[in-house]
Amino acid sequence: MATRRLDVMNSSNRPPGDCILPAYLRRLGLLLSVCLAPLACASNSAVAPAAATDKQPNILLILVDDMGFTDLGSFGGEIDTPNLDALAYAGVRFSNFQAAPTCSPTRAMLLTGTDNHVAGLGNMAEEMAPNQQGQPGYEGYLNQRVVTVASLLRDAGYRTYMTGKWHLGTSPETSPAARGFERSFAMLSGGASHYADMKPAYSPTADSKAPYRKDGELLQQLPANFDYSSQFYVDEMIDYLEQDKDSGKPFFAYLAYTAPHWPLQAPDSAIAKYAGRYNDGYDALAQRRLQRQKTLGLLDPKATATPKPAGTLPWSALDPAARKQQTRQMEIYAAMIDQVDHHTGRLVDYLKANALLDNTLILFMSDNGAEGHDLDSTWSAAMYPKIRQVIDTTHDFSYANMGKPNSYVFLGAGWAHASSPALRLYKGATSEGGTRVAAFAHFPRQLPAGHISHELVSVADITPTLLQLTGIEHPGTDYRGRAIAPPSGTSMLHAWRGQSVPADLQQRVLGMELMGKRAVRAGDWKLVHMPPPYGKGAWQLYNLREDIGEQRDLAASHPEQLKRMVSYWQKYASDNAVILPDWLSGY
C-alpha cells in the first residue's frame, strides 16, 4: 500500500521516505540538513509557474489584528464595512481559514510559509518559558533559517513595502528592512497606542516608548501626520506606491493594521456613529450574527451558538453601570473596524485611480480570533504585576475618556464570543474561536466572484500560493548561501480558483502548538489539548463537520481515532522540535 503524504501545518511536509533526524539534533541546528537533495524537497522547493503570457500581478496583503470571525458585513456582522465587503463579495471568501492562536506566530508563518517553531516564534517572545529560551526555533524573532516572501519577490523584481505592526523582531537585523522590504514603517512590538503618544500596550517601566522603525531607523517620535494608526499606515503605503508608480515593476504591499488590537481607541466621530447600536448586549448580538452567517452560507444551517466563556455573565445579569461600560467597549471596537474599512477604501480608490486594481491580488485576513481576555483577569495582575502597575498608573480609565488617547480598554469575553458565536473561545486558544479567522481573496482576473471556499486553508499556505501565482520558485533549502527551511504550507491556488482540491489535500493533517495549547486537524477531525481554564488538561476529540463548536468530546467513544490523531500530533511535534513550556502565564 502506498504511503499517504502527511501534510502538517507548520511542519516540514516531507515526501514519503524522507529522512527524519531526532529532535535533539535539530535543536543543535541540524534541522535543515533533512532535505539536502533537491529531489527530496521537490514538492515544496518549487512551484508551478504562471502562464508565460500572464503579467505578474501586484499583491496587496492586508492583515488586521484580533478581529473576530463575524465582524465584517460579508462574514455576518453589522459593522459598516462596505469597502471590504465589496472586495469580499467580488472575490473568494474562506470559511475554514486557520491562523495561529496569537499574532507573532501567525505573522511568522504568513511571511515564510514555514512552521512558527522553525521560524523562531515557537512561542511569543513575551510568553517564552525558561526551558524554551535560547533554543532553536524559540528566538522570539524571525530567525535566519527562513526566507520571507518579501525577499523572494524583491529578488524577482517586485517593489516591496510594509506598513503597520511587525512583531517579528526589534533590532535592525530583524526589522522589515532586513527581511525583504525596501520601504517600511513598522510598529515593532505586539501592541501600542493608536495615537502619536507612543504609549506601549505593555511595559514594566512608565517612561518607555513603543518602538517604531522607518526604513530600519529607530524613531524617537512619530511624524506630525500620525493622527491615528489606521489612517497613517494607509497614508504611508499610498506614498510608497506613488513614489514608484512609474517604475514599471509590480509591487508587494503588506499592510498590517494594528486595529482592532487593544487598547481599543478610535476617533470620536467614528465612535459616535455606533452610539446605541449595541444597547441590547452581547447575547442578542451573538444570535443575530449566528443567523446571518448561516444565511450567507458560511456556516452549516444546523450550527448553534456555543456557551459563553466561563465566568461571563448573561447580559440580563449585568447591572446598568456594567452594561453602560460594556456597550461603550463594543462601540469603540466597531469604530476601529469601521476605520479599517474606511482607510482600506482610500487605498483601493488610489489603485483604481492609477489603473492598478485590475492587476492586483488583494488578500485580507485576521491574525487570530477576537481578544476575549480582560484587563481584570487573574493572569494580568498575577503574572505581570509590574506591567499591570504601569498600566493602572499611566492611563485614564474614566468612562468619558474611553477610546481616546491615554485610555486603556479591552473588548472582553462577552463581545469576543458574540464575534464568533458558533466557535469555542477566542484569541490564545487552539480551539476554533482562536484560530478560525475571516479571510478573503479578490482578484477578478483569476479568481471567481461570489465564491465561498470551505476547504481547509492554513496561514502557512499563503507564501506558497503567492509564489505559484507569481511564477516565482522557492529556493528550497538554500538562500544566498545560508541553509533555510522549505515551506511547510502548500499552494492552495486551486481552492482559491474554486477548483477541486486533490485527494491528499482533502485529508491533510495540520498541527499547531502555542503556550502549551495543542491541536491537530485531519479531515473533519480535530484533537485539542489545553490546560484549564481553556480545557481539561487532557486530549479532547471532536468531529467539526457535526460539531464546529467543539462541544461533544468523542475521545472516549472513538479510541482508535483518538490514537491516530495523537500519533499525528507526535509526528508534528517531532518534525518541528516542539518544546512544551514548563511555565505558563495563563494567557
Over 90: is that where the pLDDT of 112 sits? yes
Over 50: is that where the pLDDT of 533 sits? yes
Question: pLDDT tens for residues 450-508?
Answer: 999 999 999 999 999 999 999 999 999 999 999 999 999 999 999 899 888 787 777 89
- Residue 377 has a pLDDT of 61
Over 90: is that where the pLDDT of 117 sits? yes
- Residue 30 has a pLDDT of 32
CA-CA distance, 309 to 322, in Å (whole number)? Answer: 18
- Residue 36 has a pLDDT of 31
Which SS3 state, helix, strand or coil, does residue 97 take? strand
Q: What is the pTM of this model?
A: 0.91
Mean pLDDT of 124-132: 97
Asked if residue 442 lies in contact with residue 91, where contact means CB atoms within 8 angstroms, the answer is yes
Domain ranges of the chain: 52-164+230-505
- Residue 507 has a pLDDT of 80
Over 80: is that where the pLDDT of 54 sits? no
Place of cell 531526532: 22
Question: pLDDT tens for residues 361-376?
Answer: 999 999 999 999 987 7
Q: At 433, list the grid cell.
A: 474561536
What is the pLDDT confidence band of residue 379, given thresholds at 50, 70 and 90?
low
Q: At 406, list the grid cell.
A: 491615554
Over 80: is that where the pLDDT of 12 sits? no
- Residue 31 has a pLDDT of 36
Could you list the active site residues?
103, 167
Mean pLDDT of the chain: 90
Q: At 61, list the grid cell.
A: 496583503
Over 80: is that where the pLDDT of 20 sits? no
CA-CA distance, 39 to 44, in Å (whole number)? Answer: 10
Place of cell 521516505: 17
Which SS3 state, helix, strand or coil, does residue 358 take? helix
Closest of 581, 576, 392 to residue 21, by C-alpha: 576
Please tell me whether the peptide bond between 533 and the residue prior to it is cis, using omega within 30 degrees of 0: yes
Which SS3 state, helix, strand or coil, does residue 542 take? strand
Question: pLDDT tens for residues 272-315?
Answer: 999 999 999 999 999 999 999 999 999 999 999 999 999 999 99
φ, ψ of residue 549 to 5 degrees: the values are -85, 0
- Residue 385 has a pLDDT of 87
Mean pLDDT of 10-31: 34
- Residue 376 has a pLDDT of 72
Beta strands 92-98 and 436-442, pairing class: antiparallel
% of the chain exceeding 70 in pLDDT: 90
Over 80: is that where the pLDDT of 44 sits? no
Q: At 203, list the grid cell.
A: 511595559
φ, ψ of residue 43 to 5 degrees: the values are -70, -20
Domain 52-164+230-505 -> CATH class = alpha beta
Over 60: is that where the pLDDT of 398 sits? yes
* Beta strands in 417-569, from DSSP E residues, in sequence order: 436-442, 451-453, 457-458, 478-479, 482-483, 509-514, 517-522, 525-529, 540-543
CA-CA distance, 202 to 210, in Å (whole number)? Answer: 9
Asked if residue 436 lies in contact with residue 420, where contact means CB atoms within 8 angstroms, the answer is yes
For 274-411, where are the alpha helices, taking DSSP H only?
281-296, 320-353, 378-382, 385-394
